[in-house]
Amino acid sequence: MRSLTGQVAVVTGGAGGLGAAICLGLAEAGCAVVVGYNSSEGPARALAQDLPAATLPHAALKAPVTDSAALAELARAVQARYGRCDILVNCAGTTKFVAHADLDGLDDALFDQILATNVRGPFAAVRALAPLLRAPRADGATGLVVNISSIAAVTAMGSNVAYCASKAAVDNMTKSLARALAPAIRVLSVSPGLADTDFVKSLDVCWRDEQASRTPLKRLALPQEVADAVVAAATHLRFTTGAVIPVDGGRPLA
């Protein structure tokens, strides 16, 4: 694996189940990791302290993706601390279980919150960090944005209608940004199936088992496998941009 030693990665939603695995994977590959958080300051700071040491120190910084002014401050803090940002992983997201047929249950406030966090948030993070991501590097490498999407973008099955729509928008936005920001910045989506995070493990066991049985590989995605895809985008897939990388066990085939 090509080393990411000396590079700096910012991970929004870094203290969550998938975010923490991604932070660990990037740190193991040599990155200094900025664990971005909104309300989870304690877990984010603990994670930053526990990550494997890199040539540059890890950090936990506030990164509320629905607040563009705060993201601009995040970019200034990353510039001041590191002088660079090589990788941005947009992992922050939100949802709530609402049956797709329950139109009244998906009220305007929840719909707007999901779109603001899951769609506008990644765009705002890219906008704030783009000057650092597009800065020339001695090795000629590009900056990299990885948006964490979901197979709900394709299957239209997920926690609610707005969530599915938001992830479809993320995949489309990935392609638009890949075209707009090339050649200085590559943009990809990593699209997991249902991942076996602590949150998912806390749900009904029969429901989890049913979801696994509907997947051709007969299990859920591991958070580490999602992290592996992010790291691969940085270390191996260097001529790939505008792509959606599935980590779903073949679920859309079922």
- Residues assigned a catalytic role: 163
R_g of the chain, CA atoms, integer Å: 17
Characterize the bridge pairing of strands 32-37 and 244-247: unpaired
Characterize the bridge pairing of strands 244-247 and 59-62: unpaired
Residue 250: DSSP 8-state: T
The answer to whether 44 and 35 are in contact (CB under 8 A) is yes
Helix (H, G, I), strand (E, B) or coil at 200: helix
Q: Which residue has the tokens 């590959």?
A: 29
Q: Which two tokens stand for residue 42?
A: 């304690």
The answer to whether the peptide bond before residue 57 is cis (omega within 30 degrees of 0) is no
**If you write DSSP's letter for every residue of 4-47 in order, what string do you get?**
-TT-EEEEETTTSHHHHHHHHHHHHTT-EEEEEESS-HHHHHHH
